[in-house]
Amino acid sequence: MKNTTMPINCPACCTEQVFKICPSIDVQKNPDLKEGIFNRDIFRFICPECGEEILVAYNCTYIDRDNNFMVALVTDGDTASVETSNYTLRIVRSINEFVEKIALMEDGIDDRIVELYKIMLEDQFEEERQGVELLGIYYGGQDFENKSLVFYIITGNAENVRAILSFDTYETIAKQFDTYPEMTKHCSEINRIWAIGTLQSGFSEDS
Ligand SMILES: [Zn+2]
């Protein structure tokens, strides 16, 4: 791991401080850093002057050689610096997406199915819960007892709703991928925008 620092102006007391960052994480070499990702500690700045605590997103590449994937958090919009390799690459834009993507890839879940499912959940939520703001939907792990994937819907009124995608439904959607060559095109940004575009281009459950 390359350990480095970046200057940061504390938003509370306005003093200039030094923030220790991890721009590159090789999880097989530094397995202890994984916890720091999931609890966001590697993105947490605590001001030594005033104690202010904030999360700071910065360019960070995560490599898992055992599971053959890389997830790059790119905060400045420029993805040219992301090195290509033989690993499956995913580019994300926020800390929450970074954490979620690593969890999905580690669990061997097809993130394309997850993003499509989230759009279906969004539609369902808007229909059933009119007037409640939906802030985001995040993967919450596998529930082997109930043979399903768990999702958390974060709402504007601070209420967290749980949703599940059964392994059976997941498999049904997965099968449809085989008949849609467009879906398997190389793309490293699999997110909400990708899912909307894919659904608009004709991929749907009833087609
Ligand atoms: Zn401060």
> Is position 174 within any domain?
yes
- From 106, 125, 148, the end of a domain falls on 106
Residue 138, φ and ψ in degrees, nearest 5: -130, 145
Query: How much distance in Å is there from the Cα of 69 to the middle of ligand 1?
Result: 37
Query: How much distance in Å is there from the Cα of 41 to the middle of ligand 1?
Result: 18
- Which domain range does residue 140 map to? 111-200
Query: How much distance in Å is there from the Cα of 178 to the middle of ligand 1?
Result: 53
| pLDDT of amino acid 141 | 96
| Same domain, yes or no: 47 and 115 | no
> Is position 92 within any domain?
yes
Give the angle 197-67-137 at the CA atoms, nearest 5°: 40
Show the tokens assigned to 199: 């659904």
| pLDDT of amino acid 162 | 92
> Is position 205 within any domain?
no
| Same domain, yes or no: 24 and 77 | yes
Q: Which residues surround ligand 1, an ion (CB under 5 A)?
A: 10, 12-13, 47, 49-50, 52
Show the tokens assigned to 2: 């390359």
| Same domain, yes or no: 183 and 121 | yes
CA 162 from centre of chain: 18
| Same domain, yes or no: 27 and 102 | yes
| Same domain, yes or no: 88 and 126 | no
| Same domain, yes or no: 85 and 71 | yes
| Same domain, yes or no: 93 and 137 | no
3-class secondary structure, 25: strand
- Beta-carbon contacts of 165 under 8 Å, excluding residues fewer than 6 positions away, are 114, 117, 148, 149, 151
Query: How much distance in Å is there from the Cα of 45 to the middle of ligand 1?
Result: 10
| pLDDT of amino acid 122 | 93
| Same domain, yes or no: 133 and 188 | yes
| pLDDT of amino acid 53 | 97
Query: How much distance in Å is there from the Cα of 46 to the middle of ligand 1?
Result: 8
pTM > 0.85: yes
| Same domain, yes or no: 8 and 77 | yes
| Same domain, yes or no: 88 and 10 | yes
| pLDDT of amino acid 23 | 93
Cα separation, 59 vs 42, whole angstroms: 12
Q: Select from 20, 64, 70, 12 the least CA-distant residue to 41.
A: 20
| pLDDT of amino acid 200 | 87
Query: How much distance in Å is there from the Cα of 112 to the middle of ligand 1?
Result: 41
Query: How much distance in Å is there from the Cα of 38 to the middle of ligand 1?
Result: 25
| pLDDT of amino acid 207 | 42
Which of the residues in the chain have pLDDT under 50?
1, 205-207
Number of domains in the chain: 2
Query: How much distance in Å is there from the Cα of 48 to the middle of ligand 1?
Result: 7
> Is position 118 within any domain?
yes
| pLDDT of amino acid 184 | 53
Q: Are 119 and 192 in contact (CB under 8 A)?
A: yes
> Is position 47 within any domain?
yes
> Is position 207 within any domain?
no
Cα separation, 50 vs 99, whole angstroms: 28
| Same domain, yes or no: 85 and 30 | yes
| pLDDT of amino acid 187 | 80
> Is position 206 within any domain?
no
Query: How much distance in Å is there from the Cα of 44 to the middle of ligand 1?
Result: 13
| Same domain, yes or no: 63 and 115 | no
- From 49, 71, 106, the end of a domain falls on 106
Query: How much distance in Å is there from the Cα of 16 to the middle of ligand 1?
Result: 8
- From 106, 136, 159, the end of a domain falls on 106
